[in-house]
Structure 1
């Protein structure tokens, strides 16, 4: 009995100790959402890879959603970690389970989604459009799609719209395609496997030139808000910080500048030009792609940027010649050819290598402090109008209170160089600065199309099945 009693006292003491520890743990406050982010020094954002949200270009990770999320992470003093998923259901799951802190995935705020997610103030608004082939019947309403094959991404706001439309038109049927991107669904429409799909206006505007035989001429809904999503069961600390950031970004023009950066170069659609580009993409570019890749490696450029410059200059025609005498794929002058040490401007390899080396020389003149991508766009403007005139535009930008290291600000002043009232105040006189702006805009457009074409239906691994 004595031994048992002694052990019992130790047991009771241990139980008492565990009880105290348990109470202390129970009393410890649960870290807030903001504290979790700050403790790990990392903001985890989940997004969908697309041309409107997140992708990689010559300068690395970019996209409207990425740049906004990166700005928010920077404002918190933490690193940004990006998770990718095409599965909209998984994105919602990841937020609710705490796998990610924020969903910044081009999500439209809908009544159904607000039941499981907490949304911020909108940072952008889009329309919902119906895309079809040019030879398909034009719609007057969603009921006109009855009897046709309609496909939308599973779990998307477009699927929610069509479910609502079925209340009025029960005969309307559609297919929800798992893990489908807008590009993949447009490919199905173009190939005739689907008659109609729904797409957001911003996505359609950016890639319309890749699909010249498609048109989106029926609007289902307008001014649909895009916002970030949070777990509604979390406290509001991180959510309120995001609210403040997005409100400030709108107030100080950050959001507007990002919209201009990603959408400002999308010019008026020209069906003939789009068809020509796609034809040349398939017929001409493959002949020179390896030359562009090799020259890009030697000069530390993205080969698609060099290809975009060449397309702007010559439409990838090595025999091209202008009225002023410039020749070849990169349309080099005699002086530039001599500077770069080439003898035949019409030889594709010589032209591409010389053009890439000359662009690198121009790029090196742009001050190192200017961040990308502004530095590259300024280099292209300098390539077109001359370094001195670009510097004049930067001086004018600074005098007028703009940022001389930001392309969005400088491009607004370049056209002013053609006006004597401004040019007389500057070192290098008048210049066709507006032409340089158009030149850069076109190259940016072609570059984006080349980037997105690699992620489109032209790659076999991006195909999706309807069943």
Structure 2
């Protein structure tokens, strides 16, 4: 779904082999001009997205930082959270990113905090309520599996609940633990709230309970000796906080995650099994004709009609893609024929994208086009105009979605060309659709499977453990579960 790379940045993946030597020290950054970065892979850090590009909050943050300072980047995937710090102390990298501030880590400094994360309990709600789960844990009749970064919070919880027990897991990531709970392979895990909220849409049987205490925010770790790099990191985060870039990134990856509740996610997953196979080939035909990801088009159709070719709304829109008679006529399709409706809706969405200025980046271009599909192009243009008047970016979905609800207010709609609109609806529409798209991307293969991201000189991803980085190919392995 998402991803904007800097114009200069390409990527290469080294799939196997280790770094030279057991403790390969990196050259000083001033000599090499190559920034070596330790990180874990996950939906919150780095992965290969639906379009076959590297993506992730940390990936975007680091590549933008590197561009600012003229560095090349070498990411090194390290599955063990503990080893991130060990390897950084051994000068095997210049940075460790996506980590919690930890003042007990000798020899390391931390940059500015940029994201708050809470430790939360995840349990399978098929068999028990939240209160039952907590009673079982507090009485010592069950055990939590958790990650090293949340042990301090559990230690604090144990001061109030002496029978609370847990076991540390350091070779799995938070999403893998949530998946194991959803599938009934684990009973309880404590992970970060950002991971749990993202994963809950894919695994709705995994319920999120109350916070388990507090944990320090996320930051980048830097060897204590590298004061110059630490100063550069501080300056970078000050800049992206001031210019709004950090807020846009947080919205890109997390702004939509709470729009779909558990019943809706379960219903969608069930229809994916029961109904989607009847139309998958037609969505893929629409991708062939338009270039739009068939999973995005299927999500659009679900948002419009729940994949019901006979759907009718009180406003006169009909069919699988809920086209007006005027739009169907414009696209040259019979909106009551499901194949033609899918093709007509796909071409109409592409038309909305093509109507936007060429400089509008992805994924904002797609989200803006979807808003236009829902509320009409004219009202989207009005919202973009309001963004300009308020010195916001009309090409940014984050800024435009803040303007759309103003189209209900006469103070604003009376000043623009197309007037009143139920402007809050397209915001909910797009953010909900994004959740459905995330689910399909996770469980449905692309129409044209992409190779690993294109190779280049500016960004390299080293993956010595051969972890699966693709967003729709991550599974909990039997070996990982056996280790628990």
Q: TM-score, normalised by structure 2?
A: 0.79
- Give the distance between the partners of 2:417 and 2:192, measured in 1 at CA: 46
**What displacement does 1:116 show?**
5.4
**What displacement does 1:196 show?**
0.7
**What displacement does 1:198 show?**
0.5
Matched with 1:52 is: 44
1:80–1:380 distance in 2 versus 1, CA, 3 Å: farther
Matched with 2:263 is: 272
1:421–1:147 distance in 2 versus 1, CA, 3 Å: closer
**What displacement does 1:147 show?**
3.0
- Give the distance between the partners of 2:474 and 2:346, measured in 1 at CA: 27
Matched with 2:482 is: 466
Question: Secondary structure of 1:222's partner?
Answer: coil
CA offsets 1:7-31 (integer angstroms, 9 cap, x no match): xxxxxxxxxxxxxxxxxxxxxxx99
- Give the distance between the partners of 2:425 and 2:177, measured in 1 at CA: 37
1:293–1:99 distance in 2 versus 1, CA, 3 Å: farther
Matched with 2:467 is: none
Matched with 1:416 is: 406
- Give the distance between the partners of 1:345 and 1:446, measured in 2 at CA: 24
Return 5+ residue gaps in structure 2 as ranges: 1-24, 445-469
- Give the distance between the partners of 1:408 and 1:298, measured in 2 at CA: 30
Matched residue pairs, number?
Answer: 429
Alignment of 1:304-319 (within 5 A): 304-319=295-310
Match of 1:303 among 279, 294, 317: 294
Return 5+ residue gaps in structure 1 as ranges: 1-29
Matched with 1:335 is: 326
Match of 2:30 among 35, 46, 49: 35
Matched with 2:274 is: 283
Higher RCO, 1 or 2 (CA under 8 Å, sep at least 6)? 2
- Give the distance between the partners of 1:51 and 1:31, measured in 2 at CA: 27
Asked if structure 1 preserves the Cα contact closer than 8 Å seen for 2:406 and 2:412, the reply is: yes
Alignment of 1:449-460 (within 5 A): 449-453=439-443
Question: Secondary structure of 1:193's partner?
Answer: coil
Asked if structure 2 preserves the Cα contact closer than 8 Å seen for 1:183 and 1:456, the reply is: no
Residue 60 of structure 2 corresponds to residue 67 of structure 1: yes
1:321–1:49 distance in 2 versus 1, CA, 3 Å: farther
Matched with 1:372 is: 362
- Give the distance between the partners of 2:421 and 2:44, measured in 1 at CA: 34
**What displacement does 1:435 show?**
1.7
Matched with 1:255 is: 246
Asked if structure 2 preserves the Cα contact closer than 8 Å seen for 1:207 and 1:449, the reply is: no
- Give the distance between the partners of 1:142 and 1:255, measured in 2 at CA: 40
Question: Secondary structure of 2:332's partner?
Answer: coil
Question: Secondary structure of 1:394's partner?
Answer: helix
Residue 141 of structure 2 corresponds to residue 147 of structure 1: yes
Alignment of 1:380-459 (within 5 A): 380-453=370-443
Question: Secondary structure of 1:180's partner?
Answer: coil
**What displacement does 1:142 show?**
9.6
**What displacement does 1:344 show?**
5.4
**What displacement does 1:428 show?**
2.1
Residue 101 of structure 2 corresponds to residue 109 of structure 1: yes
1:427–1:66 distance in 2 versus 1, CA, 3 Å: same
**What displacement does 1:364 show?**
0.6
CA RMSD across the alignment: 3.1
CA offsets 1:279-323 (integer angstroms, 9 cap, x no match): 223333343334333422432222322222112112223333323
- Give the distance between the partners of 1:434 and 1:49, measured in 2 at CA: 35
**Which structure dedicates a bigger proportion of its chain to helix?**
1
Matched with 1:82 is: 75
1:297–1:175 distance in 2 versus 1, CA, 3 Å: farther
1:177–1:457 distance in 2 versus 1, CA, 3 Å: farther
Asked if structure 2 preserves the Cα contact closer than 8 Å seen for 1:139 and 1:145, the reply is: no
Alignment of 1:168-317 (within 5 A): 173-222=165-214, 224-232=216-224, 234-267=225-258, 270-317=261-308
